[in-house]
Amino acid sequence: MQLPYAEPYRIKMVEPIYQSTIEERKKWIKEAHYNLFNLKSDQVYIDLLTDSGTGAMSDRQWAEVMLGDESYAGSRSFQKLDNAVKDITGYKYFIPSHQGRAAENVLFSAMVKEGDIIPGNSHFDTTKGHIEFRKGQAIDCTIDEAYDTDVYHPFKGNIDLKKLQSVIDNNPIDKIPFLIITVTCNTAGGQPVSMQNIKAVSALCRRHGIKVIFDAARYAENCFFIKGREDGYKDKTIQEIAREMYSYGDGMTMSAKKDGLVNMGGIIALNDEDIYNNAVTFNIMYEGFVTYGGMSGRDMGALAVGLYEALDYDYLASRITQVQYLGEKMAEFGVPVQKPIGGHAVYLDANKFVPTIPKEEFRAQSLAIELYIIAGIRSVEIGTILADRDPVTRENRYPELELVRLAIPRRTYTHNHMEYLAAALKRIYDTRHEAKSGYRIVWEAPIMRHFTVKLDKI
């Protein structure tokens, strides 16, 4: 008999969470104008808003916090992080930054010019933002299968080589400085990219002198999927797979708040000396001196340890198993979820869940609010409110997918929490036909409205 999975760690410190009542939550969410971003964390029982910076550090990471060297230049903590990043990626140069978007800001300052075209697989929103802010264009070349929640494909984050070829054929080559491979592909639902695809994309890019940059926030999770799903990788360690993956690229940016297992931090790693020198100047202007870049010494030390812990097979197996378990349990109950389940989150398909609510009344947001009221769970809408208005017509944009994302923080919640989540979802699903109306907007900001929007019940 195969023994069930169990966490490869035990708990040394606990953080109590308040278990509120439905009556309290009804009052709080009304006061928050039905916007989950406006809730206080104490009003939330299980917080699945994001897996970014919300994970638990290990005893060894906390030990590094005490060992932190806060020297302005050349600190021991920087040396530890520098060694770890170069060892894992194989790249020659490393620049620290305070988080992922800061790394993008620094690197893109050195690499993106007005009129440039940056193809990739569903660029993350801050990545796209930093390209468009510099009057460049991010072109999404993800395979079509990524957009059908019912189709099974082991690597839905893959780049479509035909789409990429047509970007190359239809644009002056000097306008395409680099391509971005996002691992795992966050925007497509935490879906992995295969090594075969990375290799083929890299070969095509190298033939045309286009650099390959990884957006590596969840690269360890991606390597875990390669090990489990792709021929030839079963017997390789996660670290070996990561090293091979990085060998097909020229550099990376990373939000260390994900697979760095820390609460704040960012990484740039590169092979090209000229780009590095150029980026260092921007880093000193925006982030800090090149041996801290916006991070405390103690945080760099904790990150150096966290990077290795995130590559540990047992850790990754428990992490991914927990997310898959939640997704499969929900699917078993008939709850419509995006398939296959990604690495860091389960996505509910609100169009299938609550088709009885008019789409103009924000189906995904309505479902997220219900989940909060019934069970104290905070999720996030990835639907019409996030898609915002058309900049020209100012009409609401209705995206093909109306999703509610349940992002699972790393090493934070237990198996019982997953059981609770699945049961709560089933309860809401069983009474879904009663949902007839949703919400209307009473106030919204001109851009990025989802963070501050105020809603009222219809």
Ligand X SMILES: *Cc1c(COP(=O)(O)O)cnc(C)c1O
Q: Point out the residues that are catalytic.
A: 72, 124-125, 215, 217, 258, 450
- Segment lying near ligand X (by CB under 6 A), choices 4-12, 119-127, 153-161, 378-386: 119-127
Provide the minimum distance between the beta carbon of 424 and ligand X in the complex, in angstroms, as a whole number: 26
Would you count residue 215 as binding ligand X (CB under 6 A)? yes
Residues 376-415 that bind ligand X (CB under 6 A): none
Question: Closest CB to ligand X among 35 and 182?
Answer: 182
Would you count residue 100 as binding ligand X (CB under 6 A)? yes
- Segment lying near ligand X (by CB under 6 A), choices 69-77, 120-128, 298-306, 427-435: 120-128
Question: Closest CB to ligand X among 117 and 180?
Answer: 180
Would you count residue 217 as binding ligand X (CB under 6 A)? yes
- 129 vs 21, 57, 257, CA distance in Å? 40, 30, 19
Would you count residue 182 as binding ligand X (CB under 6 A)? yes
Would you count residue 49 as binding ligand X (CB under 6 A)? no
Residues 16-45 that bind ligand X (CB under 6 A): none
Question: Closest CB to ligand X among 215 and 299?
Answer: 215
How many residues touch ligand X under the rule CB under 6 A: the total is 15
Would you count residue 99 as binding ligand X (CB under 6 A)? yes
CA distance 183 to 190: 8
Do residues 268 and 100 make contact, with C-beta atoms less than 8 angstroms apart?
Answer: no
Question: Closest CB to ligand X among 182 and 366?
Answer: 182
Provide the minimum distance between the beta carbon of 15 and ligand X in the complex, in angstroms, as a whole number: 22
Measured between its terminal Cα atoms, the distance across the chain in Å is 53
Provide the minimum distance between the beta carbon of 119 and ligand X in the complex, in angstroms, as a whole number: 16
- E-only strand ranges, 278-434: 345-349, 377-378, 380-382, 403-407
- Segment lying near ligand X (by CB under 6 A), choices 24-32, 200-208, 251-259, 278-286: 251-259
Provide the minimum distance between the beta carbon of 221 and ligand X in the complex, in angstroms, as a whole number: 11
Provide the minimum distance between the beta carbon of 182 and ligand X in the complex, in angstroms, as a whole number: 5
Would you count residue 101 as binding ligand X (CB under 6 A)? yes
Would you count residue 97 as binding ligand X (CB under 6 A)? no
Query: What are 365's two structure tokens?
Result: 């947001």
Look up residue 61 and give its DSSP letter.
H
CA distance 8 to 411: 10
Question: Closest CB to ligand X among 29 and 181?
Answer: 181
Decide: helix, strand or coil at residue 266.
strand
Would you count residue 186 as binding ligand X (CB under 6 A)? yes
Candidate list 35, 43, 52, 384; residue touching ligand X; CB under 6 A? 52
Residue showing tokens 């809603």:
455
Candidate list 194, 255, 322, 384; residue touching ligand X; CB under 6 A? 255
Question: Closest CB to ligand X among 124 and 155?
Answer: 124
Q: CB nearest ligand X: which residue?
A: 100
Among 305, 311, 269, 308, which residue's Cα sits nearest to residue 68? Answer: 305
Provide the minimum distance between the beta carbon of 113 and ligand X in the complex, in angstroms, as a whole number: 21
CA distance 172 to 167: 9
Provide the minimum distance between the beta carbon of 266 and ligand X in the complex, in angstroms, as a whole number: 6
CA distance 17 to 414: 13
Within 8 A by CB and 6+ apart from 110, the residues are 275, 278, 279, 281, 282
Residue showing tokens 């995904």:
364
Would you count residue 191 as binding ligand X (CB under 6 A)? no
Would you count residue 257 as binding ligand X (CB under 6 A)? yes
For the window 122-141, what string marks contact with ligand X as x by the rule CB under 6 A?
--x-xx--------------
Provide the minimum distance between the beta carbon of 185 and ligand X in the complex, in angstroms, as a whole number: 8
Say which amino acid occupies 318: S
Question: Closest CB to ligand X among 101 and 329?
Answer: 101
- Segment lying near ligand X (by CB under 6 A), choices 99-107, 224-232, 308-316, 373-381: 99-107
CA distance 322 to 129: 32
Within 8 A by CB and 6+ apart from 225, the residues are 154, 155, 184, 192, 320, 343
For the window 431-450, what string marks contact with ligand X as x by the rule CB under 6 A?
--------------------
Do residues 138 and 127 make contact, with C-beta atoms less than 8 angstroms apart?
Answer: yes
Provide the minimum distance between the beta carbon of 101 and ligand X in the complex, in angstroms, as a whole number: 3
- 3 vs 6, 320, 419, CA distance in Å? 9, 17, 19
Interface ranges with ligand X (CB under 6 A): 52, 99-101, 124, 126-127, 182, 186, 215, 217, 255, 257-258, 266
